[in-house]
Amino acid sequence: MAAPPRSLNPFRVLGRHRNFRIFWVGQTLSLMGSWMQTMAVGWLSLQLSDSAFVVGLVASVGAAPIVLFSMHAGAFVDRTDKLRIVRITQTVFLVQAAVLWLVTWTGHVSIPLLLGLAVVQGMSSAIEIPARQSLIIQLVGRDDLQPAIALNSSGFNLARVVGPALGGLVIARAGIAWCFGLNALSFVAVLWGLLRIRLPQEPSAAPPPAGVRALLRETTEGAAEGLRHLLQRGPVRDLLLLVTVGAVFGGAFLTLMPVVARDQLGMGAGGYGALLAMVGIGGLLGALLVAGPLSHRHRKGPVLMAAGLLFPVLLFAFAWTTRADVASALLLAIGVTMITFNALSNGVLQMLVDERFRGRLMAFYSLVFVGLSQAVGSFALGALARLVTAGGAIAMSAVVLIGASLLALGRSDFWRRV
């Protein structure tokens, strides 16, 4: 008897899994506030400094803890209650956003304060991201992992549409401080959802070693073991290398968006928010494509490589445009290709890696996509924009990405095997 056809509805995972439905709704609401805060921090740092370099510095400093501690955090996550970790770190995010609201509202905000609060957020993110990403398989199971990851990306990009647009409205009507205040309130939604999630009882993990020194030694050994596993010859290593280059040279263009919006396109805060929203709309479309039709595709490698090559070509074109309408259209297409590549690579990697290394894989993924992208990519792009222009810096990074994709296409066969 033939198996019934699988649904192409990208939202079917929400109906099948109560825990993931609660998680997704709470995360999406919270991410709207987080994107509003990200947009406001970029604009505020530009207002306070009038420097593309400082805008890049603020973005990059918060990523430094992720670069330094992600693999240690991944080793810790692999042996700890992931749901509990996510609850604790989301609480820290709430407090950080509330402090940012207070210092901005009272007029005491400064670049050093922005840098310090970014470090606090980065330290929490180093643990939270691998815990949250590796939690998804516990919420939906292995069979629905790829569409769940893609749907998670759709929530992220829905928030990227609503958050910046709302942020521009809030800045115009109430002032920039209330972007941070509303973000603090949004974390109530995600904490409420996390407290309602109930997971099957798992075998209890071994207790953590007593003392900071012993914990650091054990997580260092676990991080080294994870790196050896991930970087051994094979499709995981090949895909991780391409993902790393893409994150460092591709994701950082968002850091320079305030500069491009103001200096190249002649826009204000509302226009800047609208540009970020176009990236989000495109990303939402790409994520729904992966969660729906592409989730049933047996071989995802060719689509992954096509998206990985088209993204930098579109980015190169965006770097030179001086028309707002053309920039918006290009950013829509950039969002589709960027999230299609990211969601497919995340799902493929999680399916390829051994279960006991999942937390460390997601730690490496966050190290690359958040840590290296911001600490290296954003900093370097900000410094380069100071020497040339923001558009010129973005164009140079796009050329590197095109070269990396062509090299992977010709010299590696991982995309034919997945």
Q: What is the pLDDT of residue 416?
A: 67
Distances (CA, A) of 48 to 61, 63, 151: 17, 21, 37
pLDDT tier for residue 223 given thresholds of 50, 70 and 90: confident
pLDDT of residue 91: 93
Query: Which tens digits make up the pLDDT trace of 116-129?
Result: 998 898 888 888 88
pLDDT value of position 2: 41
Q: How far is Cα 55 from Cα 53, in angstroms, rounded to an integer?
A: 5
Residues 161-190: tens digit of each pLDDT: 677 778 878 888 888 999 999 999 988 888
Sequence-distant contacts of 179-183: CB under 8 A, at least 24 apart = 179/36, 179/37, 179/39, 179/40, 180/37, 180/40, 180/97, 180/98, 180/100, 180/101, 180/104, 181/97, 181/98, 181/101, 181/105, 182/33, 182/36, 183/33, 183/34, 183/36, 183/37, 183/97, 183/101
User: What local confidence, expressed as pLDDT, does residue 1 receive?
Assistant: 37
pLDDT tens digits along 340-379: 888 888 777 777 777 677 777 777 777 777 667 766 777 7
Which has more confidence, 140 or 229?
140
* Mean pLDDT over each residue of the chain, to the nearest integer: 81
Which three-class secondary structure string do you get for 22-69?
Answer: HHHHHHHHHHHHHHHHHHHHHHHHHHHHCCHHHHHHHHHHCCHHHHHH
Instruction: Tell me which of 8 and 22 has the higher pLDDT.
Output: 22
Rounded Cα gap, residues 284 and 154, in angstroms: 5
Which helix H or strand E contains 342, and what residues bound it? Answer: helix 324-352
Let me know: does 349 contact 233? Beta carbons within 8 Å.
no
CA–CA distance, 43 with 51 (Å, rounded to integer): 11
DSSP state of 81: -
Residue (of 73, 72, 69, 44) closest to 59 by Cα position: 44
Residues 266-299 have pLDDT tens digits of 888 778 878 888 887 888 888 788 776 666 666 7
How much is the pLDDT for 3?
42
- Spans of all domains in the chain: 12-197+215-417
Give the pLDDT score at 203: 46
State the pLDDT at residue 407: 85
**Could you tell me the two tokens for 21?**
């439905």
Q: Give the number of other Cβ atoms within 10 Å of residue 367's Cβ.
A: 26
pTM given for the model: 0.70
Measure the N-to-C terminal CA separation of the chain; round to a whole number of Å: 28
pLDDT reported for residue 414: 66
What is the average per-residue pLDDT within 382-398? Answer: 86
Q: How far is residue 284's CA from residue 72's CA, in Å, rounded to a whole number? A: 32
**In this predicted structure, what is the pLDDT of residue 6?**
55
More confident residue, 370 or 243: 243
Whole-number pLDDT of residue 293: 67
Task: Find the range with the poorest average confidence among 4-18, 197-211, 290-304, 319-333.
Answer: 197-211
Q: Which CATH class is domain 12-197+215-417?
A: mainly alpha
Q: What is the pLDDT of residue 4?
A: 41
For the ranges 7-11, 90-94, 154-158, 159-163, the one whose mean pLDDT is highest:
90-94
Supply the pLDDT for residue 163.
78
Q: What is the mean pLDDT of residues 390-395?
A: 88
Least confident of 13-27, 81-95, 323-337: 13-27
Does 226 score more than 80 pLDDT?
no
Q: How far apart are CA 184 and CA 187, in angstroms?
A: 6
